[in-house]
Amino acid sequence: MIKIVGLLTRKDGITHEQFVRHWFDIHGPLAHAVPGIRRYVQSHITGTRTRPDIAETGIEVDGIAELWYDDLNSYQRAAATPEMKALTDDGVLFIGQIKTYVIEERQIIPKSA
């Protein structure tokens, strides 16, 4: 299993509420058509917390996207589809900046059954 995590920042001129509404109501449903996606989660930022003993990064993020695939080949095949092109073309409409990571999870506390 491979996970792709994207840190998303809205385009200038778009409010956080407009960003979230487009991301959930328009962008999210487009992901259903992309072959090979096993799971898709949108984490909508509702607030922040700080720690007095660790400096805070200057990165502003409006949401975190997580997409799961069976393996790297599945991800690469999905990335080459017209359905993924439609998804990424829509992203250009409301995402101003993105930083994407390819993740290998190391489970510390397992999901309870």
pLDDT number for residue 113 = 66
CA distances from 51 to 39, 46, 54, 56 (A): 32, 17, 6, 8
Query: Residue with structure tokens 């359905």?
Result: 83
What is the average pLDDT score of the chain?
94
| Helix, strand, coil shares, percent, the chain, to 5 | 30, 30, 40
Which is nearest to 67 in space by CA: 96, 45, 88?
A: 88
pLDDT in tens, 38-81: 999 999 999 988 899 999 888 889 999 999 999 999 999 999 99
pLDDT in tens, 53-64: 999 888 889 999
Residue 54 lies in a domain: no
Residue 113 lies in a domain: no
Count the domains in the chain: 1
Residue 110 lies in a domain: no
CA distance 86 to 89: 5
Q: What is the CATH number of the domain that holds 41?
A: 3.30.70.100
- Give me the residues paired with residue 5 across strands: 66, 101
What is the domain range of residue 87?
Answer: 2-49+59-103
